[in-house]
Chain A
């Protein structure tokens, strides 16, 4: 396994005081908390931070880690020397008792045997019904079309399991889940009993799947509503027109009123994501200019300039 440089992860240097470590950790924890951060590897980073903090904030563990660490660089292939913690006593009370599956192999090899069991899941115990298995959370990515029609998604979950020797292994399983039509970004589907098995005959935990939409190349989704920036030719906006507009439910003909300006929103009620009260579809008009770099285009533009008395900056007083 790899050596983990806990100081590098939390950022203060090896001589940092306990206060400095605490401060640095809290700042980074806020930054990378998976519910707050949108960064791709926020969850992994947060876990790593938590582990580093667990070791460095505990004076016993920190001392043991320091003694061992002076010769190692992060990422190097590592094996703890047999008597590395000789002379250190780890009082059981200091250990936070978090779920051992949440820690890296590196941490496990140094401190794992100090664990005093317990499935508290997240660090810092919480009130928990003793027998119920842990809930699992996963994200499932779907396309906008899937929300319109419903679909079935196959997802692979990795869950920690304790084997007969008391080691933690990861156990993979694949589930086929029905995604109903009309789902919204961020909604959850709850699959009862698909989480971790219960302890001592207790009920299994639940599986929560959070819906996330793959960003679409031109539709924007907000709740149940769908927005589309609709480019128009200048004459279509000025004179009005009937234009073809794509919607997730199919192409439609949309009547553009004359004298339309850029930014105007045309609402198609009920053509958003289907639901008990379906969302709406909004076409936001954007006027696109034909390029002026052919002779013909130049002539036409200059004709417009000469024949139409048009000052777009009149309201600015210039």
Chain B
């Protein structure tokens, strides 16, 4: 049993990943990440791919697209739409949760 306390890296909006970091983390070629940027799923800072900086949440987003592609055979445009709808559903779900609970 490990008694040490581990501190990880919180992938929040302030943390930044390069194109290379992100593709390593997802175990994909950089071309695939570039496709996501082209589709507007990921929006890095910087003008050229060598200068791109992705925010922390980009990792989870990219991983979700990867899962959708592999498991459900959704193409990238479809995955982009799915992600946007899923974001919206999450917001609505939380609102509904509160409204249904008060009185």
Interface residues of A (CB under 8 A from B): 26, 29-30, 33-36, 38, 46, 50, 122-124, 126-129, 132, 135, 152, 173-178, 180, 182-184, 186-192, 194, 206-210, 215, 220-222, 227, 229, 275-276, 286, 288
* Contact status B70-A180, CB under 8 Å: no
A222 touching B12 in the complex, CB below 8 Å, given contacts A33-B68, A122-B71:
no
Annotate B1-34 by CB proximity to A: 1 below 8 A, 0 otherwise. Answer: 1111111111111100000000011011100100
Structural contact, B27 and A123, CB atoms closer than 8 A:
no
Q: Which of A36, A186, A222 contacts B60 (CB 8 A)?
A: A186
Q: Is A188's CB under 8 angstroms from B5's CB? A: no
Partner of A210 from B13, B60, B73, B93 at Cβ < 8 Å: B60
B residues touching A (Cβ–Cβ < 8 Å)?
A: 1-14, 24-25, 27-29, 32, 56-57, 59-60, 64, 66-68, 70-73, 82, 86, 91, 93-95, 97-98, 102-103
Known A174-B2, A175-B6; judge A188-B60 contact (CB<8 A).
yes
**Chain B contacts for A189, CB-based, 8 A:** 8-11
Contact (Cβ within 8 A) A176 B91: no
CB of A14 to closest CB in B, whole Å: 26
Given contacts A38-B93, A177-B8, 18 further A-B contacts (CB under 8 A): A29-B71, A35-B67, A36-B82, A36-B86, A152-B5, A174-B1, A175-B2, A176-B5, A178-B7, A183-B10, A187-B10, A187-B12, A187-B56, A188-B11, A191-B9, A192-B9, A210-B60, A275-B12
Please state if B1 and A191 are interface contacts (CB–CB under 8 Å).
Answer: no
Query: 25 pairs across A/B with beta carbons < 8 Å?
Result: A26-B72, A35-B64, A36-B86, A38-B93, A122-B67, A126-B27, A126-B70, A127-B27, A127-B29, A129-B24, A174-B1, A176-B2, A178-B5, A180-B7, A187-B10, A187-B12, A187-B57, A188-B56, A192-B8, A208-B60, A220-B97, A221-B94, A275-B12, A286-B103, A288-B103
